[in-house]
Structure 1
């Protein structure tokens, strides 16, 4: 039986509540139409991520899914997404949510494929060798999602500069995730800090979380956080072009995720004693701060040296 739009929205709302409290909080600031479309987009992204990583909303493993190897999981993502793009029922609420979204918003195939390319990198167990490689990864797994978000908020597919800046915010978010999740990623056999950075710090491959290398990680965290600040500043310029409630929501998310990066940087070698989060009162403060920021002009900021179009060119070279 085909799910109705209201059923798809309800399922997507549950997904975002379970998968991202920070994103769920920021999404409440959108007008109803935008909010529901953001939930539909999140549901598809979350489902793809869970299939790729054999997880349930980023946490517990999905029983039975371990039988599929990474390439088979990627094939599942591609097949279900293709059905959604064709407007066919998939039998999966999250992919049907994408199909519904495509009926309402002019998302391009290239935008969707740029997101799937991030899952392909993970399936290939790809690791960044250089800073540019790390930023390319951030582009596919988060910056490309920012582009889709901008389209959901009404940004034209032809408005390259605003889409670039929307992508920049996703990249800033992913850099925050990378520095926060060093220990968790290592436990899963992954490392998204560039190999060249680790070599400069004399940290051997596979030993990034050894206690005696903690202090050597601190300058790397500062370096990544400095990159994140540049991308976030660029994104704030783009956010100023959105409607007020959209601008408020985007700036709230920027404050929340930026706050995570700032906490990790401030904690230094103790950043991985416990998973860094923002508390409910802190989130409320960041929402209020974003309200004021949304009513003011942002500070001028140039596009980063490697923004969406440059990173897309690197990915295709």
Structure 2
């Protein structure tokens, strides 16, 4: 098998191994949305892994910027995720600001950025998760600002769930997503915590605060699912329920995400898939909830504005992305210079 079908098959295989939760939820999406969604998630997975798994993270982000440039120029790199995502960009007129937001979040990761407040954590989550939620809405031909705001709420909730689940795993990698303001209030030095991460009462309270905020955002997000095309609703409910279920597992563990990592079983996922189908059916007779019309969270408003624009517009790099990439380019140049200097001294 060759051509677009082969590219989608390769993307599906990437997701099957790289994101079990999305792979399970995607099975409830109609093929007209599932296939482009697999292409989208495969490209996002490729981007995330490129930064996570490479030692030279700055160079990885800059390379991703070049790959994205080629996708939007209609000349994707000769790789299945690039070709498939380029087809999605062309077919759905995907606003460049959305994948750029994801790239900016990955640049923040490459810089080892820390976040002082919960709002700062939400700004990061907007880029690495809500941007994907907005892109998913575009794949469903949804450009209504209220529905987009709720899609972004769901992205925030899912990312906060990820952060709460991965406190220990991130600490072992030298990453910290807990608001440093919370650590200061508890008298915990961030570097000391990363050097010796332990599930103290203070850390578990912080994890509980993340899960609580995620649950609030899951509630805000739900009315937006009813605004999606009918046959897309079960899949998005499934994503919501599976991720909220991960948060439930963190809660059951006493908010201790350091001693073990919360996991859900295949049977639980199947139960959430069934529940999601019933919830989707209920939306056909339920009245609209008032929370549908809540204004977007300040951290995601720029994504809602970008996704609500249906026509192609001239693209200019956002100030934040431009600054982040400039810093990374300078850091990459310095690293290369040091490497050359070290080699010269060795000879």
- Give the structure-1-normalised TM-score: 0.88
Q: Give CA-to-partner distance per residue, 1:147-180, whole Å, 9 cap, x none.
A: 0011111112xx2221111111111010001011
Q: Contact 1:52 / 1:123 at 8 angstroms: preserved in 2? A: yes
Q: Which has the larger radius of gyration?
A: 2
Quote how far apart the aligned CAs of 1:311 are.
8.3
1:83 and 1:162 mapped to 2: Cα distance? 30
291-300 or 79-88, larger mean C-alpha shift: 291-300
Cα 1:211/1:86, change in 2 over 3 Å: closer
Q: Residue 170 in 1 paired to residue 142 in 2?
A: no
2:187 and 2:199 mapped to 1: Cα distance? 9
Correspondence for 1:160: 145
Higher relative contact order structure (alpha carbons within 8 Å, sequence separation ≥ 6): 2
Match of 1:183 among 130, 154, 168: 168
2:255 and 2:225 mapped to 1: Cα distance? 33
Q: Contact 1:178 / 1:192 at 8 angstroms: preserved in 2? A: yes
Quote how far apart the aligned CAs of 1:295 are.
2.0
Match of 1:150 among 129, 137, 145: 137
* Superposition pairs of residues 299-310 of structure 1, within 5 angstroms: 300-301=290-291, 302-303=294-295, 305-309=297-301
1:185 and 1:199 mapped to 2: Cα distance? 19
Q: Residue 103 in 1 paired to residue 90 in 2?
A: yes
Correspondence for 2:78: 91
1:316 and 1:87 mapped to 2: Cα distance? 24
Q: Contact 2:130 / 2:153 at 8 angstroms: preserved in 1? A: yes
Quote how far apart the aligned CAs of 1:305 are.
4.7
Match of 1:255 among 241, 265, 276: 241
Quote how far apart the aligned CAs of 1:270 are.
3.8
Correspondence for 2:39: 40
Question: Which structure 1 residue ranges, 5 or more long, are not aligned?
Answer: 55-64
Correspondence for 2:16: 17
Q: Residue 224 in 1 paired to residue 210 in 2?
A: yes
1:137 and 1:206 mapped to 2: Cα distance? 20
Q: Contact 1:84 / 1:90 at 8 angstroms: preserved in 2? A: yes
Correspondence for 1:294: 280
Q: Contact 2:161 / 2:214 at 8 angstroms: preserved in 1? A: yes
Correspondence for 1:58: none
Match of 2:225 among 236, 239, 242: 239
Quote how far apart the aligned CAs of 1:248 are.
0.8
Q: Contact 2:167 / 2:257 at 8 angstroms: preserved in 1? A: no
Cα 1:193/1:211, change in 2 over 3 Å: closer
Q: Contact 1:169 / 1:232 at 8 angstroms: preserved in 2? A: yes
Q: Contact 2:208 / 2:251 at 8 angstroms: preserved in 1? A: yes
Correspondence for 1:204: 189
Correspondence for 1:266: 252
SS of the residue corresponding to residue 268 of structure 1 reads coil
2:159 and 2:91 mapped to 1: Cα distance? 28
- Give the structure-2-normalised TM-score: 0.81
1:88 and 1:162 mapped to 2: Cα distance? 32
Count of residue correspondences: 300
Correspondence for 2:345: none
1:279 and 1:306 mapped to 2: Cα distance? 35
Q: Contact 1:8 / 1:97 at 8 angstroms: preserved in 2? A: yes
SS of the residue corresponding to residue 192 of structure 1 reads coil
Correspondence for 1:78: 65
Question: Which structure 2 residue ranges, 5 or more long, are not aligned?
Answer: 306-317, 321-347
Quote how far apart the aligned CAs of 1:211 are.
6.4
What is the RMSD computed on CA atoms of the aligned residues? 2.1
180-189 or 159-168, larger mean C-alpha shift: 159-168
Q: Contact 2:149 / 2:304 at 8 angstroms: preserved in 1? A: no
Q: Give CA-to-partner distance per residue, 1:220-242, whole Å, 9 cap, x none.
A: 12211121112111211111111
